[in-house]
Amino acid sequence: MHMADALISPAVGLTMWAVAGGSVARAVRRLRNETAELPVPRMGLLGAFVFAAQMINFSIPGTGSSGHLAGGLLLTLLLGSDAAILVMAAVLTIQALLFADGGLLALGCNIVNMAVIPSYVAYPLVYRPLAAFSNSSSARRRLATVLAAIVGVELGAFAVVVETLLSGVTPLSFATFAALMLPIHLAIGLVEGIATVAVVEWLERVRPETVREPAQAESRLAAVIGLAALFIAGILSWLASSRPDGLEWSLQRTAPGWEESPPPSKLHAALARVQQRTSWFPDYDFTSPGEQEPANETAAWPAVSLGTSLAGVLGSVIVLGATVAIGLLVRPRSRQAPTP
């Protein structure tokens, strides 16, 4: 899921850097204000643990394949959201610098996809409401962990799709790209969840003090607002997709001959072309592309509407994140001096 520099445009990269930077700044300030003594070495060592944990490959039941822990959710459960974001950001930075795994301009994207989404979206919106008031190692806690892992990984994968498409570097249509990415990451999220459950339960048996109790929905308001935004965005984009060709229709009305005029740029032309081609994606294994006429567009609509709804959801998450980040940046400084 690590994005490379070559696949993003500066606009997307810098926007995501702003979101990631805002989230990290928020995490740092909250840690400074709220924690009596920062567990700095513990955070660093758990980051190193996430590195080392990727060596331990285990077989996935029912399939022939194997997987490993990615660690975003586990760190959140062990350290809390704020510290987990800092640790994951450091892990991703080291991976980008030392292992060429993920780019520098894409680091903001990677921090958002793999640190901010699990810690600030999946954990408070999925894990906390589900796991609140539950006993450790109860079925409800397990379910909450697995679901939070799946939601975190799927939203992260979705963000990859949206960031790549917004950068305009892939010829794949949104629906095709999402259909490629999401099922794979469903399986990855499931594995992540199961591995997290296994580690947390083992730690609770051996070192109960290391696992943090789920807070009793302290930021319920934030969760409610977030869910409402997701819901509204989903509904709105679904409604929007029921009139898919509104823009095209209005352009034709306002500018006769619009269809014949050359598209504004080569890239735009390429994307339009590709969109036409991928609209008959289900058959493209059977016929050679040259012979096939583009199918009429209405046939592709039922398949696209779900993707559009999800895009609205993700867009709202991104806009929400960007707004929060900008708000935090322009907010007046707290009385506490930032660094002596």
* Interface with other proteins, residue 266, by CB under 8 A: yes
From 98, 139, 221, 247, residue interacting with other proteins (rule: CB under 8 A):
98
From 22, 103, 124, 321, residue interacting with other proteins (rule: CB under 8 A):
103
| Least Å from the CB of residue 80 to other proteins | 14
Size of the site for other proteins (CB under 8 A): 85
Is the Cβ of residue 290 or residue 332 nearer to other proteins in the bound state? 290
Tell me how far the alpha carbon of residue 80 is from its chain's centroid: 19
Is the Cβ of residue 101 or residue 245 nearer to other proteins in the bound state? 101
SS3 of the chain: the string is: CCCCHHHCCHHHHHHHHHHHHHHHHHHHHHHHHHCCCCCHHHHHHHHHHHHHHCCCCEECCCCCCEECCCCHHHHHHHHCHHHHHHHHHHHHHHHHHHHCCCCCCCHHHHHHHHHHHHHHHHHHHHHHHHHCCCCCCCHHHHHHHHHHHHHHHHHHHHHHHHHHHHHCCCCCCHHHHHHHHHHHHHHHHHHHHHHHHHHHHHHHHHCHHHCCCCCCCCCHHHHHHHHHHHHHHHHHHHHHHHCCCHHHHHHHHHCCCCCCCCCCCHHHHHHHHHHHHHCCHHHCCCCCHHHCCCCCHHHHHHHHHHHHHHHHHHHHHHHHHHHHHHHHHHCCCCCCCCCC
Residues 277-296 that bind other proteins (CB under 8 A): 277-278, 289-290
| Least Å from the CB of residue 5 to other proteins | 4
| Least Å from the CB of residue 136 to other proteins | 14
Q: How far apart are CA 146 and CA 151, in angstroms?
A: 9
From 18, 94, 222, 240, residue interacting with other proteins (rule: CB under 8 A):
94
Is the Cβ of residue 131 or residue 199 nearer to other proteins in the bound state? 199
| Least Å from the CB of residue 89 to other proteins | 7
Is the Cβ of residue 1 or residue 132 nearer to other proteins in the bound state? 1
* Interface with other proteins, residue 274, by CB under 8 A: yes
Is the Cβ of residue 274 or residue 306 nearer to other proteins in the bound state? 274
Residues 229-248 that bind other proteins (CB under 8 A): none
71 dihedral zone (left: phi>0; alpha: psi -120 to 50; beta): left
Is the Cβ of residue 31 or residue 313 nearer to other proteins in the bound state? 31
* Interface with other proteins, residue 13, by CB under 8 A: yes
Residues 107-126 that bind other proteins (CB under 8 A): none
- The mark string for 15-54 relative to other proteins (x by CB under 8 A, - otherwise) is ---------xx--x--xx----xxxxxxxxxxxxx-xxx-
* Interface with other proteins, residue 340, by CB under 8 A: yes
* Interface with other proteins, residue 56, by CB under 8 A: yes
**What is the Cβ-side half-sphere exposure of residue 77, based on CA atoms within 13 angstroms?**
30
Query: 174-206 and 139-167 are packed helices; what angle lies between their axes, rounded to 10 degrees?
Result: 150
Residues 156-215 that bind other proteins (CB under 8 A): 168-172, 191, 194-195, 197-199, 201-203, 206-207, 210
| Least Å from the CB of residue 178 to other proteins | 14
| Least Å from the CB of residue 222 to other proteins | 23
